[in-house]
Amino acid sequence: MASHKVLIAISIVSFYFSLSLAFPGFNPFWGGFPVGVVPQWSLYPEYYQFSCPQVDEIVMSVLEREIAKEPRMAASLLRLHFHDCFAQGCDASLLLDDSEKIVSEKGAVPNKNSLRGFEVIDEIKAKVEEVCPGTVSCADIVALAARDSTVLSGGPTWVLPLGRKDSITASLKFANANIPPPNSTLQHLLKLFQRQGLDEVDLVALSGSHTIGMARCVSFKQRLYNQNGDNEADATLEKSFYYTLRSVCPRSGGDNNITPLDFTSPTKFDNYYYNSIMQGKGLLNSDEVLMTGNDANTMDLVKSYAEDEQLFFEQYAKSIVKMGNISPLTGFNGEVRKNCRSINEDI
């Protein structure tokens, strides 16, 4: 009887080993969990340890070159991760182009004529495919690019769970409904974050992504000329900052003019963003309401991160890992796309 049990155990192990070779990172417990609930072992940092150990080096080498050439690209890649996860989970649905079967999320109001960095993701994917064909998902590449872009901008690093699969669908509806608009109130921001399983600590920490990058005038012009529908400016704007913004963004035209989200250090990932908010120099309404939204908790968090950069870095790392775990596809769900812009069936 004992030897019979041993043979069964060996057969099971052999079966799972065969599956792991056929499906890199295979875990026998995948699947069957409620949306948004991610077991601890569904995603794990060593997912590509044997199937594509070079992936980290490939991603970093491409980003080092691209960000050195254009420092703004770091913020653009970080934003891709955020907008992807908030639509229908961290599944690279954002990368899909329009096709007969796909209505692209790129056409959503928060994304249209705004998102950048798709070509960099394409380049990383092509280089990874040369070394490890059919192995590394676009969703994981987006997550890796977000982390490494943060590091290359002077920010924190984090241990990144991997193993996401790519979706075969996109949702324009969810992209429009779930991605926070730049003119959001604090209450609306909290609602959208709570919908994703994120709390106010995550909201304030992840808003710190705006320590790098640029914003178009259209995303904050309302604050300069018609904040409350009365043709008046937002009274919370610091006066000199207000006049600086008016010089960049005239009342008529100039919607696509850009200005830094953080005037002090627009290409360095640091905590000056929070100092700016405290001075009335938050660029977007969704930035400034962290201090003016009459919520003692968000105000205290802004002050804490403004005073202690290391505290901000530590919480940012925790919160972005948490965000990266929003409804990923794992196991036999989804696919590993050959081209990040198309589902495999269409290639």
Which positions are catalytic?
A: 83
Whole-angstrom distance, CA of residue 125 vs CA of residue 169: 19
Q: To 10 degrees, the CA torsion angle through 255, 258, 264, 268? A: 140
Helix 296-307 × helix 285-292 angle, to 10° = 100
Cβ–Cβ under 8 Å, residues 31 and 317: no
97 labeled binding residue: no
188 labeled binding residue: no
Residue 130: phi, psi to the nearest 5?
-65, -35
166 labeled binding residue: no
93 labeled binding residue: yes
From the list 103, 302, 89, 91, the residue with the least C-alpha distance to 195 is 89
Q: Who's near 119: CB < 8 A, 6+ residues apart?
A: none
Residue 25: phi, psi to the nearest 5?
80, 10
84 labeled binding residue: yes
Residue 342: phi, psi to the nearest 5?
-140, 145
Q: What are the tokens at 206?
A: 């992840």
What are the beta bridge partners of residue 215?
259
Cβ–Cβ under 8 Å, residues 84 and 94: yes
Whole-angstrom distance, CA of residue 238 vs CA of residue 157: 33
150 labeled binding residue: no
CA angle 196, 141, 110 (to 5 degrees): 45
Whole-angstrom distance, CA of residue 42 vs CA of residue 26: 9
Number of Cβ atoms within 10 Å of the Cβ of 85: 29
129 labeled binding residue: no
211 labeled binding residue: yes
Cβ–Cβ under 8 Å, residues 104 and 170: yes
Please enumerate, by residue number, every residue annotated as part of a binding site for heme b: 210
Please enumerate, by residue number, every residue annotated as part of a binding site for substrate: 180
Please enumerate, by residue number, every residue annotated as part of a binding site for Ca(2+): 84, 89, 91, 93, 105, 211, 262, 270
Please enumerate, by residue number, every residue annotated as part of a binding site: 84, 89, 91, 93, 105, 180, 210-211, 262, 270
